[in-house]
């Protein structure tokens, strides 16, 4: 039994790594968090305006995606196609799944507000599958979309709803890092007839070995601590790598110069009270210096990943207003690009 095994590494509450290489991700933290982490079953019928199904896209690895489609509003008569979002979840590359309640609630809301198809990737997790596996799986999902756009595959929902000419990458926390990596890789590849119109990094998990002012000074909270961020990074990067790994810190000395990358317009969503805030803002400044198109939106007074805490949002009008504004800004960015 797991309780008799020796733990050699852990992020308290989230993940325990045993000496035999096995991993336990059972939540052992505060009970009130459990409801946010429970999986939500797919439903192909529309519930609250959204239908959801899971689909294996690579039988060799078992790679799967969760697909969300909205109940069409203004497009019923015209049968116009709607934007396509490739969603890359957060969790420090080590935890989280697209079917978790916290993602289900946020993604259904995003799909309804934007009127878009959303495809969320069940990429393989570290430490069993260290970086760059998460990038490779995410890019495989983009190529699966390309195969559907080319008619080589024919997913029923993508065929009916998706505008392959308007593809957007969306990722939160470490998923924001994946947005940068997938966009950069797509810039050197032939993804036609897909058109990558933009990338949206929500509180991206950019972090460096050099502590920033926000990292040192902003108060921690139980779901966002310095030790947690360091530990997830060490479990995710290839053995022997440092915190300057280019996926973790894409503007560091190990990363390719931004000037050499072909990137779509980017929206970076920042939370004012996020430990990683200054790393995110530094990324935006370096992007601008490199001549890249980048917009920044700040949620004032908010912490890292606040938008997923449905329990708190339901009780806190200010947090609810900030979450609403975030969705509005994302919808506006997609509608303009």
Residue 60: CB partners within 8 Å, gap ≥ 6? none
DSSP for 154-189, please give it: --HHHHHHEEEEEEEEEEETHHHHHHHHHHHHHHTS
From 99, 138, 172, 173, active-site residue: 173
Q: What is d(CA 297, CA 161) in angstroms, rounded to the nearest whole number?
A: 29
Could you tell me the two tokens for 250? Answer: 């894409």
Q: Which of 137, 155, 172, 274 is catalytic?
A: 274
Q: Which residue has the tokens 């899971």?
A: 54
* N-terminal to C-terminal alpha carbon distance within the chain: 52
Structure tokens at 34: 């459990």
Going from the C-alpha of 316 to that of each of 101, 319, 323, 326, the distances in angstroms are 19, 5, 11, 16
Distance between CA atoms of 140 and 126, rounded to whole angstroms? 17
The contacts of residue 162 (CB under 8 Å, 6+ apart) are 81, 82, 84, 117, 145, 148
Structural tokens at position 62: 């078992």
For residues 277 and 270, give the distance between their C-alpha atoms in angstroms, rounded to a whole number: 6
Q: Verify whether residue 234 is a known catalytic residue.
A: no
> Active site includes 173?
yes
- Is 304 known to be catalytic? yes
Question: Distance between CA atoms of 183 and 197, rounded to whole angstroms?
Answer: 10
Task: Just list the catalytic residues.
Answer: 173, 274, 304
């Amino acid at each position: 039994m797991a309780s008799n095994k020796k733990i050699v590494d852990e992020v308290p509450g989230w993940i325990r790594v045993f000496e035999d290489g096995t991993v336990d991700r059972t939540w052992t933290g505060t009970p009130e968090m459990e409801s946010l982490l429970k999986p939500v079953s797919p439903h192909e019928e529309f519930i609250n305006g959204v239908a959801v199904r899971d689909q294996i896209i690579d039988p060799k690895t078992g790679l799967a995606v969760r697909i969300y489609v909205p109940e069409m509003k203004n497009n019923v008569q015209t049968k116009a196609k709607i934007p396509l979002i490739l969603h890359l979840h957060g969790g420090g590359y080590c935890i989280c799944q697209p079917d978790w309640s916290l993602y289900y609630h946020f993604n259904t809301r995003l799909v309804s507000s934007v009127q878009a198809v959303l495809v969320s990737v069940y990429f393989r997790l570290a430490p069993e599958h260290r970086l760059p596996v998460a990038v490779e799986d995410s890019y495989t999902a983009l190529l699966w979309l390309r195969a559907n756009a080319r008619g080589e595959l024919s997913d029923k929902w993508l065929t009916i709803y998706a505008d392959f000419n308007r593809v957007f990458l969306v990722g939160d926390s470490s998923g924001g890092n994946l947005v940068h990596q997938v966009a950069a890789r797509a810039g050197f590849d032939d993804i036609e007839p897909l058109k990558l119109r933009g990338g949206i990094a929500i509180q991206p998990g950019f972090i460096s070995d050099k502590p920033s002012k926000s990292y040192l000074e902003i108060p921690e909270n139980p779901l966002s601590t310095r030790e947690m961020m360091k530990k997830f990074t060490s479990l995710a990067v290839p053995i022997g790598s440092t915190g300057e790994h280019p996926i973790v810190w894409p503007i560091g000395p190990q990363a390719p110069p931004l000037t050499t990358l072909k990137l779509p317009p980017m929206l970076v969503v920042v939370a004012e009270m996020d430990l990683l805030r200054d790393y995110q803002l530094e990324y935006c400044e370096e992007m601008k210096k490199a001549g890249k198109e980048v917009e920044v939106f700040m949620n004032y007074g908010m912490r890292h990943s606040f938008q997923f805490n449905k329990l708190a949002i339901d009780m806190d009008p200010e947090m609810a207003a900030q979450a609403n504004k975030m969705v509005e800004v994302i919808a506006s960015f997609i509608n303009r690009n």
